[in-house]
Structure 1
């Protein structure tokens, strides 16, 4: 199967953010996306951003245009959220984002009436119905398809770092899971989700897709749901490992880290260097550790099995790659990764709120609503 990788400007940025719709009083999810999207999709048709539906009717997804910088893409998302609020505020609907809803039940949710979603649920059954998960997707432009898998294979070593920074699903269906990101382990139950297969060039990816399509596993490349994958239609590498970020500044910080890492590896390839890779079994262990312990994770960082505290390794990475962030115009967003390290990721804040409220998870939802409403930030890019 020959698959074209679309032309894309190097290190450009695209963002997707899945957002929950909730009742402002109870905090429970409300399946009102279809009624909102009739107008919202039409209104965004001529904008850089888009507003669309998702698997469940309790979710709206906002998407940026192709950003020349992180700030550019973030501004698109901010405008999209403002448009959504213009519809949800009068309708008495609140917005929040996290990897999971603290107490909502899967059997009370409705699947969006689209053929591809119904096919997914028909095939995956209980696990598909349990996909009450919300995430962010970060696209970074790559100018040459020959770079895609070397970069993916090296970037995979940083998936636990990204997962830890974004972890925001410590509760599931009313229970404390003991995990920072329960979403990470739930999502990988889908047949084409989870860590990427260790492919090494574009032809191997084409062969993989040929096998998957021929055996009826998937219809096309869009059904590859790896934690990090090529997005041939856009000419990007897409990172999908992260829980839904609870605030826009945190989304910007994680997007900047991903952009800088991709550019860092791209520059190494330009210099003729062979990129470092970890064995697949270390990736599996790192993913579980990050899901379990979040920013308290100790990650395996090299093929020899060397281990580092994820906070320390991130701090070192930020210091080393700061000049690239300056070159890309995302120095402010990149530096704000340290704020997450200092203040704690969303999962830790949610657990603290629950403890202060004697385990009342409705208080956690109200906390997430307040955090989400504290953004979007004011415009950071003139266009």
Structure 2
């Protein structure tokens, strides 16, 4: 059997990956520039772990934290890297923004980054990969033992609609309003190894599953399984990949606080001998769809009988439930910001409001996203 070593992490350590769009300040189109920017800020031969790197398309720069202990530390780490990337982008007539999709740029116009693994991805997936003009935020939370990872992954699936509704920021696709809060989530899950995770009982079952995929030639390495929530054995984390691209650091802090608190809470419950809940697969799938379609206006299924409640209420209750854990982890301020998102509106709502105020002009939406990246989220 394939052995997949899990490198234990300090409990509740934190890492965040933030995929940023490069847009031309005149046309507001997504524009290549990542290769030159990264050559400038990360010269060849730099042995340190990169704080910024290429993604599939050359109009994307991904900024990455180091290993952090608190949400505040992670926010400061991201902010420092973003300042460096923004300065390099500005020299080239580019600005930074983040949302799950660009409001109007056609994916056919984008250049693939010059990396063999990206070329191979496009060769293998064809149209599915070429249209991956999408952007997300990934949150890693440290776990001390492989025995805990799969129970935590399974339990976290209950909260997929919470994360997706709060972060939903992709209502537009190549100039059209899709009618969805998160078009990105539907585009990404079209890949054969992306989307909702399978509920595997333990690490042994995870290794068997991965061995089967490798033996069948479905994947070459386990890094090609892009679940919405997945174990990351090298980092020793649970990685939450469900979120759309998030425009502001404050909003990133809010979703990171929920993620860190939930994993910490589940970890402690396992220490006490509790069995973590694993929601039914049909409920997880239905709730992801509802969050992708309706965002914060979704009613989500909360039990096997089909009982529903507004996701807004579920999110508010979750904030209250997690507050004692947030105090231990020093992220009360960030967790409380979740309530401000509920008041101001998620990004998909703000984008539509801007478009409506400007007679459907989506360049105004780009300008608003660039402004939020620079200045943060305005109060209601």
TM-score (norm 2): 0.96
Residue of structure 2 in register with 1:305 after alignment = 306
Q: Secondary structure at the match of 2:73?
A: helix
Residue of structure 2 in register with 1:367 after alignment = 368
Residue of structure 2 in register with 1:285 after alignment = 286
Mapping of 1:188-267 within 5 angstroms? 188-267=189-268
Query: Distance between the aligned counterparts of 1:15 and 1:189, measured in 2?
Result: 24
CA offset at residue 124 of structure 1?
1.1
Mapping of 1:1-383 within 5 angstroms? 1-42=2-43, 45=46, 50-375=51-376
Residue of structure 2 in register with 1:380 after alignment = none
Query: Distance between the aligned counterparts of 2:341 and 2:15, measured in 1?
Result: 22
Deviation >4 Å, runs of 4+:
43-49
Larger mean CA deviation between 309-318 and 46-55 belongs to 46-55
Larger mean CA deviation between 342-351 and 77-86 belongs to 77-86
Q: Secondary structure at the match of 2:242?
A: coil
Query: Distance between the aligned counterparts of 1:71 and 1:306, measured in 2?
Result: 37
CA offset at residue 302 of structure 1?
2.9
Query: Distance between the aligned counterparts of 2:126 and 2:203, measured in 1?
Result: 32
Does the 8 A contact of 2:9 with 2:237 survive in 1?
yes
Does the 8 A contact of 2:33 with 2:89 survive in 1?
no
Aligned residues, how many? 376
Larger mean CA deviation between 209-218 and 57-66 belongs to 209-218
Q: Deviations over 1:122-162 (max 9, x none)?
A: 11111111101000000000011111111111111101110
Does the 8 A contact of 2:42 with 2:50 survive in 1?
no
Does the 8 A contact of 1:49 with 1:79 survive in 2?
no
Q: Secondary structure at the match of 2:320?
A: helix
| CA distance 1:212–1:48, change in 2 (3 Å) | closer
The alignment yields a C-alpha RMSD, in angstroms, of 1.5
CA offset at residue 47 of structure 1?
6.7
CA offset at residue 366 of structure 1?
0.7
Q: Deviations over 1:85-123 (max 9, x none)?
A: 221122211010000000000110000111111111111
Query: Distance between the aligned counterparts of 2:44 and 2:162, measured in 1?
Result: 37
Does the 8 A contact of 1:100 with 1:168 survive in 2?
yes
CA offset at residue 46 of structure 1?
7.1
Give structure 1 stretches of 5+ with no counterpart: 377-383
CA offset at residue 221 of structure 1?
1.4
Does the 8 A contact of 1:44 with 1:51 survive in 2?
no
Query: Distance between the aligned counterparts of 1:312 and 1:86, measured in 2?
Result: 41
CA offset at residue 282 of structure 1?
0.9
Q: Deviations over 1:205-225 (max 9, x none)?
A: 101110111111111111110
